[in-house]
Amino acid sequence: MEALWIGLLAFAGGVIAALLGWLESKVPFDVKKFGSSAIRALLAGFGFALAYNFQNFLTPLDLIAAFLGGAGVDVVGNRIGGVLRKRKAGAP
């Protein structure tokens, strides 16, 4: 059951980071961008749940780390995606 909570918190962290990024950007909502963020958040949640599945107990710091880790996966994924899009478009 603890692995489920960790996975959900990591997923929530990624989705919230994506929503905050969209609100900050002041551009129209793009389903494709949000969908890729949701997939990254889902993968982060699965990864954290898998990793914490081998622990016997959880502390509040573990829950906070999972949430922030999920947000970090989304932020890093967006940065990498932006660099790849620029290179594909031919920008320096």
pLDDT single digits (tens) 31-70: 888 888 899 899 999 988 888 877 777 788 888 888 888 8
Mean pLDDT of 78-87: 80
pTM of the model: 0.77
Q: Is the pLDDT of residue 76 over 80?
A: yes
pLDDT at 91: 58
The amino acid at residue 24 is: E
CA separation for the pair 2, 84 (Å, rounded)? 36
Which are the contacts of 73, defined by CB distance < 8 A and separation ≥ 6?
Answer: 10, 14, 40, 41, 43, 44
Number of H helices, E strands in the chain: 3, 0
Q: What is the pLDDT of residue 58?
A: 78
**What Rg, from alpha-carbon coordinates, does the chain have?**
15
Domain ranges of the chain: 12-89
Q: Is the backbone of residue 29 left (phi > 0), alpha (psi -120 to 50) or beta?
A: beta
